[in-house]
């Protein structure tokens, strides 16, 4: 019998991989990545919310009918303040614990503005800003806009003139106190009543300049 001298290529059998990765490992790794990503996003969102927003409860009648006791306001901390904005700020008034009081009032005058309270053509007291009588649609029509006159003042740099919307129940800049712009916590842009955020949720519109 003739011998076959053709070369033979030997093929070694495949060697099974040692420690092969399970598909569950990839799944777990991806899941951990997603959870970590969500956690980081939540932390960033929380930090941003703390930096940009604050919630403050309302006590007292000085801002009625805009705000009532047990209302809560949502403040935007980064804002260019202007006439008519409702703001929360640290005042020079001291409470019973010896701490500065935080007030919620409406900005009437900013640095360089002149503010005066005097009788208008109807004989009623009105607020005049830079010589122009203010049309204060945010006030209760049944309540007086002011009870007495106030000499013209010019708001100094870094300060603002503030009034409460319920003029007969508000202690404000008519007493000679001015607010410090640097002490403003933020501008109120939403309000709700009680603990439930969606209870009577209402925007607080900015007054047209």
Tell me the DSSP string of 30-69: HHHHHHHHHHHHHHHHHHHHHHHEEEEE--SSTTTTT--T
Please identify every stretch of the chain with a pLDDT value under 50, giving residue numbers as ranges: 1, 6
Given the residues 91, 105, 126, 191, the one annotated as active site: 105
- Please name each of the domains of the chain with its CATH number: 55-203 (2.10.109.10)
Q: Note the pLDDT of residue 155.
A: 98
62 carries an active-site annotation: yes
- Interatomic CA distance for residues 187 and 206, integer angstroms: 10
Q: What is the pLDDT of residue 16?
A: 54
Three-state SS at 28: helix
CB within 8 A of 63, min separation 6: which ones?
Answer: 86, 104, 105, 106, 164, 165, 166, 170
Instruction: Mark whether 91 is an active-site residue.
Output: no
Q: Are 72 and 192 in contact (CB under 8 A)?
A: yes
Note the pLDDT tens digit of each residue in 149-174: 999 999 999 999 999 999 999 999 99
* Model pLDDT for residues 72-96, shown as the tens digit of each residue: 999 999 889 999 999 999 999 988 8
């Amino acid at each position: 019998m003739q011998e076959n001298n053709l070369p033979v290529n030997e093929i070694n059998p495949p060697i099974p991989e040692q420690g092969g990765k399970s598909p569950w490992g990839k799944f777990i790794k991806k899941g951990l990545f997603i959870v970590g990503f969500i956690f980081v996003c939540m932390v960033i969102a929380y930090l941003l919310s703390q930096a940009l927003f604050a919630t403050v409860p309302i006590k007292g009648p000085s801002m009625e009918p805009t705000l009532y006791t047990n209302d809560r306001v949502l403040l935007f901390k980064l804002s260019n303040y202007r006439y008519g904005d409702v703001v929360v700020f640290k005042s020079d008034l001291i409470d019973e614990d010896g701490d500065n009081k935080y007030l919620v009032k409406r900005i009437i005058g900013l640095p360089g503005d002149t503010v005066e309270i005097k009788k208008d053509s109807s004989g009623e007291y009105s607020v005049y800003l830079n010589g122009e009588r203010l049309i204060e649609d945010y006030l209760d029509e049944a309540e007086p806009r002011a009870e007495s006159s106030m000499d013209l003042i010019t708001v100094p740099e870094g300060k603002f003139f503030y009034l409460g919307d319920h003029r007969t129940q508000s202690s404000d800049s008519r007493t000679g106190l001015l607010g410090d712009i640097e002490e403003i916590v933020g501008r109120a842009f939403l309000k709700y009543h009680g603990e439930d955020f969606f209870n009577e949720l209402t925007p607080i519109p900015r007054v047209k300049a």
